[in-house]
């Protein structure tokens, strides 16, 4: 998301009324040369394509409902695996593939459009962070990027991301003040959040950051702060609303009045993960 301009697309999804609820909608284009890691199976490419879109829906606190999938193919043999992967991911998270398009293309290209539903009062957006709120993250950031560093025990995190669909809905109901997924890394996510929450900033406490296991500490911190390819939820929430039942999340900092992103008081670099396998 993001093509339309800020007035429409601050969030991970667009939204509109659907009966008494809010429908959220998002579209993502992935393709072989920049998004699908060499070595991924067709099934994994399909899974990932669905997962990134379901993650956007999760980050709004919505329940995924429908997915449309357009597949451009340089090799028709890929189609079955890609579709099965997308279908399995949708099935796991309660969504249904309702339509699509196929086309010949010069590299595998998958565009997934997801639709989800959420009650108006439970919707989570990027805006709304408030000084004094906690900054939290689900799961352990940096594991997907760790695979690219050669720590191949983390393959599943990069190749078969698990969007936080259940957690997103629980967090929406619990009244998080702001939420997004961290697919570009924690650092860029926090800068994105700061850009739409103009009267606050984020102060991280490095000692609280969950780190990928089995990696030297300094490198692990680098991966956790700047690594991409994760689909965790990063959110802010009033202290009296945390923890949220059935959501495994870690407090990693606080929302400040100062418009800056810091780690242990030092400004965090504004950089993240650049996709490109070529």
Provide the binding-site residues for a second copy, judged by CB under 8 A.
1-4, 8-9, 13-14, 16-20, 23, 25-31, 33-34, 65-66, 68-72, 83, 97-107, 109, 111, 113, 115
CB of 91 to a second copy, least distance (A): 13
Ligand-binding annotation for 33, yes or no, is no
Residues 6+ apart with CB under 8 A from 57: 12, 13, 24, 26, 63, 64, 114, 115, 116, 163, 165, 168
Ligand-binding annotation for 273, yes or no, is yes
Nearer to a second copy, 78 or 247 (CB): 78
Secondary structure (DSSP) of 65-82: EEEEEEEEESSTTHHHHH
Omega before 41 within 30 of 0, i.e. cis: no
| CA–CA–CA angle 146, 180, 70 (5° rounding) | 80
Ligand-binding annotation for 27, yes or no, is yes
Nearer to a second copy, 8 or 271 (CB): 8
Ligand-binding annotation for 125, yes or no, is no
d(CA 89, CA 57) in angstroms, rounded, equals 14
Nearer to a second copy, 70 or 193 (CB): 70
* Residue 47 three-state SS: helix
- Beta strand 14-18 with 63-73 is unpaired
Nearest CA to 177 among 202, 148, 207, 144?
Answer: 202
Nearer to a second copy, 74 or 264 (CB): 74
CB of 83 to a second copy, least distance (A): 7
CB of 188 to a second copy, least distance (A): 16
Ligand-binding annotation for 59, yes or no, is no
What count of other Cβ atoms lies within 10 Å of the Cβ of residue 184? 21
CB of 64 to a second copy, least distance (A): 13
Nearer to a second copy, 29 or 251 (CB): 29
Ligand-binding annotation for 35, yes or no, is yes
CB of 269 to a second copy, least distance (A): 23
Q: CA gyration radius for the chain? A: 18
d(CA 137, CA 262) in angstroms, rounded, equals 16
Nearer to a second copy, 85 or 139 (CB): 85
CB of 197 to a second copy, least distance (A): 21
Nearest CA to 217 among 206, 228, 227?
Answer: 206
Ligand-binding annotation for 195, yes or no, is no
Provide the annotated binding site for substrate: 35, 273
Provide the annotated binding site for ATP: 100-101, 126, 183
């Amino acid at each position: 998301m993001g093509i339309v301009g800020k007035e429409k697309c601050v969030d991970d999804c667009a939204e509109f009324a659907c009966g008494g609820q809010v429908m959220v909608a998002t579209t993502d284009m992935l393709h072989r040369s920049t998004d699908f890691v060499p070595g991924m199976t067709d099934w994994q490419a399909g899974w990932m394509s669905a997962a990134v879109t379901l993650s956007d829906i999760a980050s709004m606190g919505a329940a995924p409902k429908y997915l449309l999938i357009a597949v451009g193919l340089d090799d028709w043999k890929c189609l079955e695996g890609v579709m099965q992967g997308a279908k399995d991911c949708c099935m796991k998270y309660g969504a249904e593939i309702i339509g699509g398009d196929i086309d010949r293309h010069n590299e595998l290209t998958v565009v997934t459009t997801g639709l989800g539903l959420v009650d108006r009062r439970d919707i989570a957006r990027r805006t709304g962070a408030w000084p004094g709120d906690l900054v939290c993250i689900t799961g352990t950031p940096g594991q997907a990027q760790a695979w690219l560093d050669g720590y191949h025990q983390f393959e599943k995190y990069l190749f078969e991301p698990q969007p936080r669909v259940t957690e997103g809905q629980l967090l929406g109901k619990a009244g998080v003040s702001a939420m997004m997924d961290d697919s570009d890394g924690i650092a860029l996510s926090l800068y994105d959040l700061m850009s739409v929450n103009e009267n606050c900033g984020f102060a991280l406490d490095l000692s609280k950051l969950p780190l990928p296991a089995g990696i030297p500490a300094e490198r692990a911190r680098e991966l956790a702060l700047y690594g991409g390819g994760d689909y965790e939820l990063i959110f802010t929430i009033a202290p009296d609303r945390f923890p949220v039942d059935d959501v495994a999340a870690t407090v990693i900092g606080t929302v400040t009045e100062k418009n800056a992103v810091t780690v242990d008081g030092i400004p965090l670099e504004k950089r993240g993960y650049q996709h490109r396998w070529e």
